[in-house]
Structure 1
């Protein structure tokens, strides 16, 4: 069987979903695996090596959240619950009764809300650099937040700040050209939507007390050097979800999929193959 077309070469499609239109790509065949992007991200930020590896085994679907990249928005205030409903509507538009879910960063909050509000739609749950929100969620230190949200300076200066937030200091010190590890991101998003996403994330009441209700097989993947959503967030969630798996990448940052795309992909594939149950 021929390998799937590389995700970088796949055209963006648009589909109505609820009260918006969602921009998306899909690559590969097999059981569906839906990837939910985090704050300030568009679908072209997913590591292409990782996506293409997963697509050799699954139908991988990536998309832009409401108001980001090519997806539209309405005047409705952004909330994590709204993003989860958008995801459910998107699945309905694609005629997906249920799918595996992989969320990153804020995308894990959406994934958790989706699993709690629409449990019949979620098969297995992969939470990469997770945060349960609310009082129990551990958010970045103020200096990290300031660096993350700072939009001043040249594109090169903004990129350098992003590297410093996403990647560990020691890892960066050993690699003079960290941009070579990142995809070519061409999509853009309105600043007011980026800000609205941030407030949706920090104002979410969270899922901590509801986590024991999650019955899907779940894996938490975190980096020991993540300064955005510290590993303690994943520990807390893993303790609350019955029989959850937990994997730490030694030396991994918030952007560990860019550091270790092969290892990251292999762990996701192993979990999807060997964890016990699948929704039917």
Structure 2
């Protein structure tokens, strides 16, 4: 905790915060910490192929106004060392290791896409550690996914400036405008940017997500083990992990709320970032 206490994080942003490192269990984790020093930390669990700089500053900075927020690279991702696991359970164990190294005994989780699967595993297995959980654009074990098909379609659109435009945003004028604004925000940081992921990260991550969804869980064992308050969020037109997943999670968990955003895809939290931040704050503060 010495490293954390030596640095003032309030007033920093995702674009300006220094990249910090902490090491344990053979892994050197890269992370950025924003917001005040007091309060329950909100740990961000990132999507397939994403790193710290793939988070939207409009979301992260606004959430960090009144709570500690920590974005990090899990094992093997970005500037973190170690090997990226090919299964959700191991990713969850590495995330718990990271949280333990920071000395936290109680955290909130915001898991997006692949990170939402990891968050489910953590909340189910580590009840005393997790206070509340936010699951965005994700799927339960045994849920529906179209990862490879959607990726193939997105990368075939060579005229687009960034594959995240078709991956995360609808084709409507509003969706595309929101996507371009999102890209401007995520590229605002010019120095000390995180390291992009290659196949050593994306191959095992794809296997982990596909296996998670291909593994039947008709009894919803993991979801029913999540007794913490949960906020489930999805875009109405998510082609990668469809909104039916969100409704299934909402129904299976004992203490969940459900939000569906209109005319939005996998990046609904970025397209409707002001609404999303407001809803998350209300949920976490309740």
TM over 0.5: yes
Q: Structure 1's 59 and 77: CA in aligned 2 closer, same or farther, altered over 3 A?
A: closer
Residues in 1 aligned to 2:61 and 2:176: alpha-carbon distance in whole angstroms:
27
Residues in 2 aligned to 1:6 and 1:173: alpha-carbon distance in whole angstroms:
25
Paired residues for 1:193-208 under 5 Å: 193-204=201-212, 205=215, 208=220
2:254 matches 1:245: no
Residues in 2 aligned to 1:253 and 1:226: alpha-carbon distance in whole angstroms:
4
Contact 2:40 / 2:106 at 8 angstroms: preserved in 1?
Answer: no
The alignment yields a C-alpha RMSD, in angstroms, of 2.3
Q: Structure 1's 174 and 5: CA in aligned 2 closer, same or farther, altered over 3 A?
A: closer
Paired residues for 1:87-236 under 5 Å: 87-134=95-142, 137-140=143-146, 143-147=149-153, 150=155, 157=160, 159=162, 161-171=163-173, 175=177, 178-182=179-183, 183-184=186-187, 186=193, 187-204=195-212, 205=215, 208-236=220-248
Instruction: Tell me the residue number matched to 1:31.
Output: 40
Instruction: Tell me the residue number matched to 2:61.
Output: 52
Q: Structure 1's 18 and 251: CA in aligned 2 closer, same or farther, altered over 3 A?
A: same
Unaligned runs of 5+ in 1: 275-280
Residues in 1 aligned to 2:157 and 2:170: alpha-carbon distance in whole angstroms:
22
Figure out how many residues of one structure are paired with residues of the other and give that number: 265
Residues in 2 aligned to 1:15 and 1:198: alpha-carbon distance in whole angstroms:
26
Residues 8-40 of structure 1: CA deviation (Å, up to 9, x unaligned)? 100101111323111100100132110100101
Instruction: Tell me the residue number matched to 1:278.
Output: none
Instruction: Tell me the residue number matched to 1:63.
Output: 72
3-state SS of 1:100 partner: strand
Contact 1:132 / 1:206 at 8 angstroms: preserved in 2?
Answer: no
Residues in 2 aligned to 1:68 and 1:236: alpha-carbon distance in whole angstroms:
30
